[in-house]
Amino acid sequence: MSKRKTERLLSLVVCLLSSQRYLTATQIRAAVPGYPDSFDAFKRMFERDKEELRELGIPLDMGTNGALDEEMGYRIPRQAYVLPDIRLEPDEAAMLALAARVWRRAELAGAAAGALLKLRAAGVEAEETGQPGIEPRLTGEAAFGPLWESVRDRRPVTFSYRAAGRSEPQQRKLEPWGVVNRHGRWYVAGHDRARDAVRVFRLSRIEGKVEFSGPRGSVSVPDGTDVRELVAEWDSHPVERQAAVLRVRAGAGYGLRRRATREQPGSDGWDLVDVPFSDSGWFAEHIASFGADVVVCGPADLRDAVITRLKGALA
Amino acid sequence: MTGPVPQPSARVGTSSDRLRRLLALVPYVVSRKVVGLTETAAAFGVSERELVDDLNMLWCVELRAPDPYCPIDLSYEGGEIVVSQAESMDRPLRLGVDEASALLVALRMLGEVGQVASVPGLAEGSALSRTIAKLEAAAGEAAAPSAQVAVQVDRIAESSVAARLREAVAARRLVHLSYYVPGRDEATERDVDPMRLLVVEGRTYLEGWCRRAEAVRVFRLDRVLRADVLEAAAQVPQEAEPVDVDRGLFRPSPDDLRVVIELSPTGRWVAEYYPCEDVADLGEGRLRVVLRTPDGEWVRRLALRLGEDGRLIEPAGLAAEVRSEAAAALAQYGAGAADLGGSGRGVS
């Protein structure tokens, strides 16, 4: 933004905010310096300026001062413009400073800093104290920005998504209901239009751009939707638990023994260890990572899965 | 695991940043009556030169009709800013949806962290809940969409460990950790001078000076098998540099191994889980990733775990070790193992 434009917009805000009455475009042009002489050029520039103010979140009212006024006028209603009074104790202000740092590596860093700026302008002393000795951080993801906008503005989106284990990405159409960070990873949950069902997507598996595919306000989130719950359900492993019987070399396999229900030392340098598991695919990979220190005695399908893994590593 | 963390591109000031700042500047001074140039420049993250430019621009605002007048009067003589006339500019603009959401989502996340790590300052009914309530009230309607973003922090099974370490940080006491290192599959014993707790990517860590490694180390709390707070006072040496959390917890070192792995579509999770120096698309959903780590044992285990979903290309010596380890493991299953799979998609 050029210096002249900044000056003009600043004057425009002061002008519209100071006036109790609606000001017509002609009155605004007379009061605010910096508009061009030609009325048409002024109108075009004024339209763009109004858009700039809206993007900054400045409320702009249109109306007339009386029934006899023919031309519409503009003003910024003070009530809607000002941040309501907020008084924070020092410990509360410290929380705000800590909260603003959470986004430092992620998408909403600018918004958090902007909020802090306004709160400081309201008299809040948000000092960066060392308290309370803990530093939480969220991490960014390219798709977060557009998905947050679509959730905020209730707009449907399309994106290309590569589901786990798929070789080709697929085009998805989603009415997004919410964005959730679970165990450090971002997910979006909503209504999948093509499948006419609730679906959860991991943001890191979205490829390329997220495009808006409908107008603002065209997505409605069903009452009582809990996006956290949806993502938790999608993310949870089957609960059916089995027990593996393993031969583990003495002194090795600490990561397995940690979770063992039984450890029986053997005389041949190998211990018999029982370990419960629920996801056999993941558990087979875990066992394979111990290499020649662990042998699966049962169940048979786990044993076969580990052998398949090991052969894959041999290739 | 160590490796480079991709940095989000630095945010350059958007075109309207200056206007936002100008609108906040007058109320900032008004609410404090008198405030120093230096202090104000720091609060707004600008140089004193830029701040003076801003003040001059505000002072120069002139409305020409119906009668010409200057709505804002201020001075900054002797390095002290005073606003003597502010007209309608004396209060800041209300919070936008993004602004309110950024803070509210982060504050609610702090509440989760407080529960998980038993941080007294972040407990129910603490300053945190009061701050959330006040911010929601001040944000009004703009607060509503923030409910559609949620952050869940990992529960630590042993939350008493978190509480104990948190106390040790506050009381500056030395701790003894029994710590599981999965890369080497061993429990290690070490004395640590605790510095602070970190919550990054949903996981909680203790940062401290490890007396065994004689360096700053970051310990994942879910791998702490036991934590004892000792009588001795913590002595964090002068040279202990806290990890710059905003540049990522794990930084590569020039001595690290350069690891190249080719991943099948089923093995792509590696690129999502570990920070990669480079990711190249090989087509048909396959990837070639480059990772950095000081830990060869970790690489060996990863390659065994991946099986045919990942082919270790470099270092070549490690790749040979992985093959002989896999052969030794298979030999223990006897001749019957030879008939099984080895091609096609893995079982997972």
Chain A positions touching B196 (Cβ under 8 A) are 130, 133-135
For A127-155, the DSSP string reads: ----TTSEEEE-B--TTHHHHHHHHHHT-
Tens digit of each residue's pLDDT (9 = 90 or more) over A199-245: 999 998 898 899 999 999 999 999 888 888 898 888 775 556 789 99
Average pLDDT over residues A136-163: 89
Chain A positions touching B60 (Cβ under 8 A) are 7
Token pair listed for B243:
């990890």
Which of the four pLDDT bands, split at 50, 70 and 90, describes residue B120?
A: low
CATH number at residue B166: 2.30.30
Chain B positions touching A255 (Cβ under 8 A) are 180, 182, 185
Cβ contacts of B212 within 8 Å, gap of 6 or more: B188, B190, B191
From A116, A132, A312, residue closest to B309, measured CB to CB: A312
Is the pLDDT at A161 greater than 50, yes or no?
yes
Is B261 domain-assigned?
yes
Q: How far is CA B61 from CA A15, A124, A135, A144, in A?
A: 10, 26, 42, 39
Q: Do A11 and B28 touch (CB under 8 A)?
A: no
Chain A positions touching B182 (Cβ under 8 A) are 255
Question: Does B105 or B346 have the greater pLDDT score?
Answer: B105
Q: Do residue A77 and residue A89 come from a single domain?
A: no
User: How close B129 comes to chain A (CA, Å)?
Assistant: 9
Which range of residues forms the domain containing residue B118?
A: 97-148
Chain B positions touching A27 (Cβ under 8 A) are 65
Is B8 domain-assigned?
no
Is the pLDDT at A279 greater than 50, yes or no?
yes
Q: How far apart are CA A257 and CA A259, in angstroms?
A: 5
Q: Do B19 and A7 touch (CB under 8 A)?
A: no
From A30, A83, A178, residue closest to B138, measured CB to CB: A83
Q: Do residue A149 and residue A223 come from a single domain?
A: yes
Parallel, antiparallel or unpaired: strands B186-200 and A134-137? parallel
Is B153 domain-assigned?
no
Q: Do residue A193 and residue A155 come from a single domain?
A: yes
Q: Do residue B291 and residue B322 come from a single domain?
A: yes
Q: A175 has which bridge partners?
A: A191
Q: What are phi and psi of A21, to 5 degrees?
A: -95, 160
Which of the four pLDDT bands, split at 50, 70 and 90, describes residue B247?
A: low
Is B11 domain-assigned?
no
A225 touches chain B (CB under 8 A): no
Average pLDDT over residues A286-291: 93
- pLDDT for position B8: 34
Q: Do residue B120 and residue B66 come from a single domain?
A: no
Tens digit of each residue's pLDDT (9 = 90 or more) over B259-269: 999 999 888 88
Total domains in the fold of chain A: 4
Please count the residue pairs, one from chain A and one from chain B, whose beta carbons lie less than 8 angstroms apart.
408
Q: How far apart are CA A76 and CA A16, in angstroms?
A: 5
Chain A positions touching B323 (Cβ under 8 A) are 313-314
Is B344 domain-assigned?
no
Tens digit of each residue's pLDDT (9 = 90 or more) over A41-98: 999 999 999 999 998 999 999 988 887 778 889 999 999 999 999 999 888 888 898 8
Residue A42, SS3 per DSSP: helix
Boundary-marking domain end, from A63, A81, A99: A81
Is the pLDDT at B348 greater than 80, yes or no?
no
From A95, A138, A303, residue closest to B151, measured CB to CB: A138
Is the pLDDT at B149 greater than 50, yes or no?
yes
| Ranges assigned E (strand) in B201-335 | 203-210, 215-220, 224-233, 257-263, 278-283, 286-293, 310-314
User: How close B1 comes to chain A (CA, Å)?
Assistant: 15
Q: Do A289 and B304 touch (CB under 8 A)?
A: yes
Boundary-marking domain end, from A138, A155, A172: A138
Which of the four pLDDT bands, split at 50, 70 and 90, describes residue B157?
A: low
Q: Do residue B86 and residue B104 come from a single domain?
A: no
Peptide bond into A132 cis (omega under 30): yes
From A111, A121, A286, residue closest to B27, measured CB to CB: A121
- pLDDT for position B343: 43
Is B167 domain-assigned?
yes
Q: How far apart are CA A270 and CA A251, in angstroms?
A: 9
User: How close B207 comes to chain A (CA, Å)?
Assistant: 10
Boundary-marking domain end, from A205, A235, A265: A235
Q: Do residue B179 and residue B220 come from a single domain?
A: yes
CATH number at residue A25: 1.10.10
From B137, B169, B348, residue closest to A285, measured CB to CB: B348
A134 touches chain B (CB under 8 A): yes
Total domains in the fold of chain B: 4
Closest CA to B18 of B40, B59, B50: B50
Contact B285, A205 (CB under 8 A): no
Chain A positions touching B107 (Cβ under 8 A) are 95-96, 99
User: How close B272 comes to chain A (CA, Å)?
Assistant: 7
Boundary-marking domain end, from B247, B265, B290: B247
Q: Tell me the average pLDDT of chain A.
A: 88
Tens digit of each residue's pLDDT (9 = 90 or more) over B208-229: 999 988 888 889 888 888 899 9
From B196, B269, B272, residue closest to A135, measured CB to CB: B196
Q: What is the pTM of this model?
A: 0.78
From B87, B304, B332, residue closest to A295, measured CB to CB: B332
A20 touches chain B (CB under 8 A): no
Q: Do residue A92 and residue A74 come from a single domain?
A: no
Contact A221, A172 (CB under 8 A): no
Token pair listed for B64:
């020409």
From A81, A102, A133, residue closest to B196, measured CB to CB: A133
Which of the four pLDDT bands, split at 50, 70 and 90, describes residue B112?
A: confident
Q: Do A57 and B94 touch (CB under 8 A)?
A: yes
Average pLDDT over residues B153-168: 75
Is B46 domain-assigned?
yes
Segment among A56-70, A264-278, B64-78, B249-263 with least mean pLDDT:
B249-263
Residue B271, SS3 per DSSP: helix
User: How close B100 comes to chain A (CA, Å)?
Assistant: 7
User: How close A178 comes to chain B (CA, Å)?
Assistant: 5
Q: Do residue A260 and residue A217 come from a single domain?
A: no
Which range of residues forms the domain containing residue A126?
A: 84-138
- Chain A: residue whose CA lies nearest to B284: A167
| DSSP 8-state assignment for residue A105 | B
Chain B positions touching A84 (Cβ under 8 A) are 94, 137-138, 140
Is the pLDDT at B331 greater than 70, yes or no?
yes
Q: Do residue B163 and residue B125 come from a single domain?
A: no
Is B190 domain-assigned?
yes
Chain B positions touching A7 (Cβ under 8 A) are 57, 60-61
For the question of an ipTM over 0.85, the answer is: no
Alpha helices of chain A — where are they, by DSSP H?
A: 3-18, 25-31, 39-55, 78-81, 90-102, 109-121, 144-153, 227-235, 254-257, 280-288, 300-314
Segment among A198-202, B247-251, B334-338 with least mean pLDDT:
B334-338
Chain A positions touching B20 (Cβ under 8 A) are 56, 114, 117
Q: Do residue A182 and residue A211 come from a single domain?
A: yes
A residues 177-216 closer than 8 Å to B (CB): 177-185, 202, 204-205
CATH number at residue B44: 1.10.10
From A92, A177, A294, residue closest to B130, measured CB to CB: A92
Average pLDDT over residues B44-69: 90
Chain B positions touching A30 (Cβ under 8 A) are 64-66
Q: How far apart are CA B302 and CA B340, in angstroms?
A: 22
Question: Does A294 or A137 have the greater pLDDT score?
Answer: A294
Q: Do B199 and A137 touch (CB under 8 A)?
A: yes
